[in-house]
Amino acid sequence: MRGKFFTIVFIVLTTKVDGLPNLYAGQCPLLVPSSMTTKIPSQLGKKRPHFITIAHRGASDSLPEHTLPAYRLALELGADYIEADLVATKDNKLVSIHGIDLNTTTNVALLYPERHRTITLDGKNTSGYFVFDFTLEEVQTLRVKQRIGGRSTFFDFTFSIPTIQDIVNLLHDWNHNIIVKNNSTKRSGIYAEFKNPQYYLQQLNISLVDIFLQEMDRNEYADKMFFNTKNQTKFGCERMNEYQVPPLVIQCFDIETLREMRSKLHSKGMAQPSYVLLANAKQCHLPDFWSRVDKLGFLSGIGPDKKCVISETAGKEFINQAQKLNLAVHPYTSREEIEFVTSQFASAEDELRWLYCSRGITGMFVESLDLGVKIGTRGCEDFQEMQEQKDSTEMKKEGNDKHKHATLSQESCSQHNNKNVTTMKSATWIMIGTCLGLWMSRWFSKIGQSIDMGILKKLSIGKMNSRKSLITFKENMVTLIKVGSIHLKMKVKAKTR
């Protein structure tokens, strides 16, 4: 095992893609090695959970998203990563917020109503209060609110928008001061996304990558935490069987932005972070998606919409392709509210457990941190047993349904046979009545000429000649037969209902 592990590390550190070496400088891979982690709860004292918990915009189900308290709460609850969505202000400072429109999560419309305008974004007219129209000083006057309805609004408009400097400082304090006092060795990282980088580049002539690197140069902790240019620290995978998450992950929907980041870090001689390509529900199933991913060669993972991996056939194929390329799969997003849970699951916990234990994802963007951590620490040891019990119950139910169906079929056949018998009896009596009527009419026709008019009077047929009386009698018999037939049919229908 020891030789195997160091062989893997050696390959990672010396492999070249497009002429650029992958310099991870002692970082563990984002795809968690099974030898260093576990899905079995009884082994958690020696190994960490296999599941990577990414705090989607912090502990955003409890506090307003992208605020320092939300990030700190996520760390307290056991997050492996805190996610920062990075956008640039008018004076080229990076802040973390939902997107370029400040109105989505802040009180900007109240404080700066005159700043509202319309831009063309991704080919569509989009109106809002855009962060690149505000200086950092102005942005920091805003206060953040809870974005999703139904959650607590107690802390609305209490917290400000953090800068990337604030977030790095918070994480450094957590990793180097807080967890040390708690005798913990688990280190957390930043999972950073560049938002709308092509708009910044094409419309504003601003590179978010350049601004990010400038911000890191300004921070006294960033080099030691993330890039290791002066070999000041080790990232955690130098020791056997001890896994630490890579300290920095850069994610983006735009491939060119990831390429730009990698190239510029290489030119500075800095260690590379892990790179994750994000994909929405349409992008992940494009015919050329995996060929483009394969050609990139430097990705550590894929961040798909969870719809990409839940569908039965396409979802399995997505995971298989990722495994072939040795990529982590970190879907977005798990939320506890039932309206965000895929319809085939009863709860967010059922959905997340199935994604982890059955479908095979290696991490997830979650907004309920206690749920995400619970999934990892609970593991999958009992999942197979629960699935077998569920399958057994469903098989019994299916068997009962078949038995019920068979019983209903037998009853239906019995009723059908009874109906046929009754119908046959009815038809027989109709035929007998018809034959009897015809026979009687013919008999009366033969003797009609000899019948005395007095007898007819006594029979109350009236003052009619014998021929007319016999015709009337025949018609009356046919009418009686028809009425009798209709009556019998009505009785048959009543019995079969």
CA angle 487, 488, 493 (to 5 degrees): 100
Q: Are residues 110 and 255 in the same domain?
A: yes
Report the Cα–Cα distance between both ends of the chain, in Å, rounded.
Answer: 74
The Cα 361–Cα 355 span in angstroms is: 6
Residue among 50, 56, 66, 330 flagged as catalytic: 56
Pair of tokens at residue 467: 């021929």
What was the pLDDT predicted at 20?
A: 56
Q: Are residues 196 and 290 in the same domain?
A: yes
CA angle 406, 410, 415 (to 5 degrees): 145
Q: What is the pTM of this model?
A: 0.76
Q: Are residues 139 and 212 in the same domain?
A: yes
Q: Are residues 294 and 433 in the same domain?
A: no
The Cα 165–Cα 219 span in angstroms is: 7
Pair of tokens at residue 342: 């895929």
* Domain with 280 in it: 2-381
Residue 206, burial from CB neighbour count under 10 angstroms (0-12, 13-18, 19+): middle
Reported as a single tens digit per residue, the pLDDT across 170-209 is: 999 999 999 877 767 789 999 999 999 999 999 999 999 9
Strands 248-252 and 189-194: parallel
User: Could you tell me the CATH number of the domain that includes residue 351?
Assistant: 3.20.20.190
Helix (H, G, I), strand (E, B) or coil at 114: helix
Ranges of the chain whose pLDDT falls below 50: 1-15, 23, 408-409, 413, 416, 419, 421, 423-424, 427, 429-430, 434-436, 438-441, 443-475, 477-497
Cα dihedral sign, 169-171-175-178: positive
Residue among 98, 330, 403, 416 flagged as catalytic: 98
Q: Are residues 283 and 363 in the same domain?
A: yes
Q: Is residue 387 part of a domain?
A: no
Q: Are residues 441 and 344 in the same domain?
A: no
Q: Quick check: 148 and 10 in contact, CB under 8 A?
A: no
What was the pLDDT predicted at 473?
A: 43
What was the pLDDT predicted at 40?
A: 85
Q: Are residues 306 and 400 in the same domain?
A: no
Reported as a single tens digit per residue, the pLDDT across 422-453 is: 544 554 544 555 444 544 445 444 444 443 33
Catalytic site includes residue 330? no
CA angle 271, 277, 281 (to 5 degrees): 165
Number of folded domains in the chain?
2
What was the pLDDT predicted at 357?
A: 95
Catalytic site includes residue 98? yes
Q: Are residues 362 and 421 in the same domain?
A: no
